Amino acid sequence: TDKANEEPEGDVPNKPKKPSNRQLKREKKEAIEAEKRDASKVEAMNKALQYISTWKHAKSQWKFEKLKQIWLMDNLLDDSLVPETMFPTVLEYFEGCKGMARELLLKKGMDVIKKYETQQNSSEEVVETVEYTRARQLLQALPTET
């Protein structure tokens, strides 16, 4: 009786289990949603970069948009989202910022620099990252309290 019970179990590992239709539909839906999220991220990036370009080159047509400024504040240190060619313009944009936006940018820059310096103190082989370089430039560009 023991051998009769073992044989069916021996066959099971050899046969790959086919995913159910429900699981296939769920995976397909998740893939579509992920694609939409990625597309909306790219769209947000393009709109924010267009916003900053309009600010620089066509101030008469530019108007302040808080959501785009927030996106720029959140992503200005990321070179995959704000290209190197646009970064000086973004810095110039934030040179005149005041209030809470300025405070948040100062905090963001200081956090990155502290993280870098902590890594540098713990090991000697820390390469300066784009994020660190941008954080230093940001802190130098922001207006100081008077």
pLDDT digits (tens, 9 = 90+) for 35-84: 888 888 889 899 999 999 999 999 999 999 999 999 999 999 998 999 99
Name the token pair of 73: 């504040």
Q: Is 89 inside a domain boundary?
A: yes
**Does the pLDDT at position 4 exceed 80?**
no
Q: Is 30 inside a domain boundary?
A: yes
State the pLDDT at residue 38: 80
Q: Is 137 inside a domain boundary?
A: yes
Measured CA to CA, the distance from residue 8 to residue 5 in angstroms comes to 6
As a residue count, the chain comes to 146
Query: Using the 8-state DSSP alphabet, how is residue 67 labeled?
Result: H
State the pLDDT at residue 146: 43
Q: Is 9 inside a domain boundary?
A: no
Number of domains in the chain: 1
Which pLDDT tens digit goes with each residue over 79-108? 899 999 999 999 999 988 888 998 999 999
**Does the pLDDT at position 29 exceed 70?**
yes
Reduce the DSSP state of residue 113 to 3 states and report it. Answer: helix
C-alpha angle with apex 144: 140 to 146, nearest 5 degrees? 160
Measured CA to CA, the distance from residue 52 to residue 72 in angstroms comes to 9
Residue 130: pLDDT band with limits 50, 70, 90: confident
State the pLDDT at residue 107: 93
Those residues with Cβ within 8 angstroms of residue 131's Cβ, 6 or more apart along the chain or in another chain? 77, 78, 79, 112
Domain with 81, as residue range(s), is 18-141
Burial class of residue 48 in the structure, from the number of CB atoms within 10 Å of its CB (0-12 exposed, 13-18 middle, 19+ buried): buried
Q: Is 88 inside a domain boundary?
A: yes
CB 96 within 8 A of CB 129: no
Measured CA to CA, the distance from residue 42 to residue 35 in angstroms comes to 11
Q: Is 24 inside a domain boundary?
A: yes
Q: Is 7 inside a domain boundary?
A: no
**Does the pLDDT at position 115 exceed 70?**
yes
Name the token pair of 76: 């200005």
Q: Is 2 inside a domain boundary?
A: no
